[in-house]
A = this chain, B = another copy of it.
Amino acid sequence: MTDSFVVVGGDAAGMSAASKAKRDDPDLEVVVFEKGEWVSYGACGLPYYVKGEIQSLEALVSVTPEEFREERDIDLRTGQEVVEIDPDAGTVTAEPVDGGESIVQPYDHLLIATGAEAIAPPIDGTDREGVYTLGSMSDGKELREYVARARSQETFQQPDRGPACQHLEECAGPVAVVGGGYIGIEMAEALAANGFEVNLFQRGDRVLKGFSEATSEAVADHLREEDVLVHLGADVLELAGDDAVETVVTDDGRIDVEMVLLGTGVRPRTALATDAGVELGPTGAIATDAYRETNVPDVYAAGDCAEATHTVTGEPVYVPLALTANRHGRAVGQTVAGTPTEGGSVAGTAAIKAFDVEAARTGIVDHEEATAAGFDPVTKTIDANSRAGYYPAGGTVTITLTADRETGRVLGASLVSEYGEGAVHRSHAIVGALAEEATVFDLENYDLAYAPPFNTTWDPVLVAAKVLSGALR
C-alpha cells in the first residue's frame, strides 16, 4: 500500500517538503492543506511590492498551485484549514475556510508547517483602522492599496507636512513604523520612496538589535540621511484616534500620523501542534530532533513554527527565516521519502538592504549571549575599503567580528557597507567559518579571491580577522 505524507501549511517549509518528497519517491501520496489561497510565495518580497518595485503579487509566487498539482503531482488543497491532528488515529481533520463539510485525512508522515504570525505588541489601539502588519500576501495587498490611495489625495502634493518633507518634492503622511527590525526598516524605505514622511519608532536604543552596535549606528545614520525620523528608545504606548489611528503616543510624547505599520516581530503558530500533544521547546516554538521530528512519532515540524539548532551554541533557537524553512522542509521531504536528512543548524544569519546601505549578521555578536553560552567573547570592529583604494569606485565595509578568547573560535560577525559594496556576500566567508568551527587564526589565512575591482589585497573580512587575532595573541 502507498504511504501518505500530509503537510499542514503551503509556504516555504511545507511546499519544499512536499516537492522534495514527491520527487524522491513518486509513489508517495503527498497531500498539502493550505488555509489561504497563496502557496510558496516570497514574503520577503512584500516590502518591494508595497514600494512599487514589483508590480504584481503573482510575481512573488515561485511555483503556482496549478504547477504543484499538474507538474509535481502534489494533492494541494488550498482554502482548507487543518483544525485537528489525531496522532493516535494518524489523521488530520480539515475544514474548508468558506464553509462546507470537514474531511478526515489519514497520514503515515505528517509535517506541521504552520508558520508564524505577527506578535500583538502591548500597545493600545492596534485594532484601529489604518494600523497594518506585513506578514501575508493580503497584508501586502492592503498596504499597496493604502499607498495608492494616499498618493492620489490632494494633500499629497503639499510639501512642508513635516521636517522630513522639506527635502522632498512630494510628501504624504506622516506615517509611523513601529519596530526597527527587518520589516520595519524595509517598510520605512518602501514608504519613504513613495513620498511619505516616515517616523520609525524603536523601543530599544538601536535599530537591528541582532546586529552589532556599529552596524545599527551605520543603518540608523543612513535612515536619517534618507529623511526617516528615527525615534530610538521610544516606547509606543497607544495608537490613539477615533475610528482610525491619528496619533502615536509614546512615553516621550505624541506624534500625529495617518497610518501605522507594526513591525514588532512574529511568534510561532503552535496551537494546532500543542493540541495534539506536540511539545514546544524553550523558545516557545515546536521542539524537534535533528531530523525535525517532534516528540510525536512521524510528526515533523519545520519553518517558522519550529525551533532549530544554533550552529555556534548547539542549543535550540528560534530564527524564523526563509532559508531555514526551505532547507528544513526539504530535509523532511527527503527523510520521509526514505533518506534520513538532518537539514543542518542555523547561525542566525540575516541580511537587509536599507535604502543605499546593506548589512548582514551571523552567529553570536552580543557579548551577553556569548557569555551565557560559555564563551569569553572578544570583539573588534574595523573599517576597510571595499575595493582597492586606487580603484575608481568603492566605499567602506565596517565589520564587527567576535571570537572566543581561549580557543580563538569565530563566534559571529556583523557587516555593513554601501549597497553594492559587498557586506552581505562577504558574510558568506564567516558563515563558512562558523559552520566549520574555524578559529580566527584559520579565518585570517583564508585564501579569498582578490582583484582591485572587488576588494583590497586583504579582503575586509581578512582585515577584521587579522585585527581580532592580533588582540587574541
A residues with a Cβ closer than 8 A to B are 12, 42, 44-45, 48, 53-54, 59-60, 62, 182, 311, 321-324, 326-327, 339, 342-353, 358, 360, 362, 388-392, 419-420, 422, 424-429, 431-436, 438, 442, 445-454, 457-459, 461-462, 473
Residues of B within 8 A of A424 (CB): 449, 451, 454
Tell me the complex Cα distance, A350–B428, Å: 17
Residues of B within 8 A of A323 (CB): 447-448, 450, 457-458, 462
Specify which of B324, B388, B420 is in contact with A44 (CB 8 Å cutoff).
B388
Residues of B within 8 A of A53 (CB): 391-392
Known: A321-B450, A446-B432, A452-B42. A48 touches B392 (CB 8 A): yes
Residues of B within 8 A of A459 (CB): 428
Are B447 and A345 neighbours in the complex by a CB distance under 8 Å?
Answer: yes
Specify which of B182, B432, B438, B442 is in contact with A429 (CB 8 Å cutoff).
B432
Q: List 13 A-B contacts (CB under 8 A).
A: A42-B457, A44-B388, A48-B390, A53-B392, A62-B389, A349-B448, A350-B450, A362-B447, A420-B420, A427-B448, A428-B448, A429-B429, A435-B445
- Besides A42-B390, A419-B453, A428-B448, 17 other CB < 8 A contacts? A44-B457, A48-B390, A60-B390, A323-B450, A323-B457, A323-B458, A323-B462, A348-B447, A353-B451, A362-B447, A362-B449, A424-B449, A425-B426, A433-B436, A435-B438, A435-B442, A435-B447
Specify which of B54, B326, B352, B445 is in contact with A327 (CB 8 Å cutoff).
B445
Known: A353-B453, A362-B449, A432-B429. A390 touches B324 (CB 8 A): no
Residues of B within 8 A of A461 (CB): 428
Tell me the complex Cα distance, A12–B390, Å: 16
- Chain B residue at minimal CB-CB distance from A426: B425
Residues of B within 8 A of A451 (CB): 44, 182, 350-353, 424
Residues of B within 8 A of A420 (CB): 420
What is the oligomeric copy number? 2
Residues of B within 8 A of A322 (CB): 450, 457
9 shortest interchain CB distances as A-B pairs: A432-B432, A344-B445, A436-B436, A425-B425, A428-B429, A351-B449, A351-B451, A347-B447, A59-B390
Tell me the complex Cα distance, A321–B448, Å: 11
- Chain B residue at minimal CB-CB distance from A308: B447
Tell me the complex Cα distance, A248–B42, Å: 55
